Amino acid sequence: MTCTTSQPNNAYRDHVHQGISTNCGDRSSKDELKSKVMLQDLEPCASQSLSELISLVHNRLNPSKLTESTDNSSAGENDETNKRKEDSCSTSDDPVANLILTLHPLRIHSVFLAMANHFPRTLEALVLHALTPVGSEILTRKFEEMDQLISGDNQNQFYQIFYGVFDDQSAAMDVLLNGKELFARQAFENVLGQYLGNNPDGPKQQTK
Report the distance separating Cα 147 and Cα 140, nearest Å.
Answer: 11
Report the distance separating Cα 132 and Cα 35, nearest Å.
Answer: 31
Between CA 167 and CA 108, with CA 163 as vertex, the angle to 5 degrees is 135
User: Do the Cβ atoms of 53 and 118 come closer than 8 Å?
Assistant: no
Give the alpha-carbon dihedral of 160, 136, 115, 157, to 10 degrees: 20
pLDDT tens string, the chain, 208 residues long: the values are 544 444 444 445 554 555 554 444 455 555 555 555 678 788 899 999 999 999 999 998 876 554 444 444 344 444 444 444 445 566 778 999 999 999 999 999 999 999 999 999 999 999 999 999 999 999 999 999 999 999 889 999 999 999 999 999 999 999 999 999 999 888 888 777 776 777 666 555 555 5
Q: How many CA atoms lie within 13 A of 61 on its CB side?
A: 16
Q: What's the pLDDT at 193?
A: 74
DSSP for 36-77? T--GGGS-HHHHHHHHHHHHHHHHHT-HHHHHHHH-S-HHHH
DSSP for residue 7: P
**Domains of the chain, residue spans:** 44-57+92-195
| Helix, strand, coil % over all residues of the chain, rounded to 5 | 75, 0, 25
Report the distance separating Cα 92 and Cα 98, nearest Å.
Answer: 7
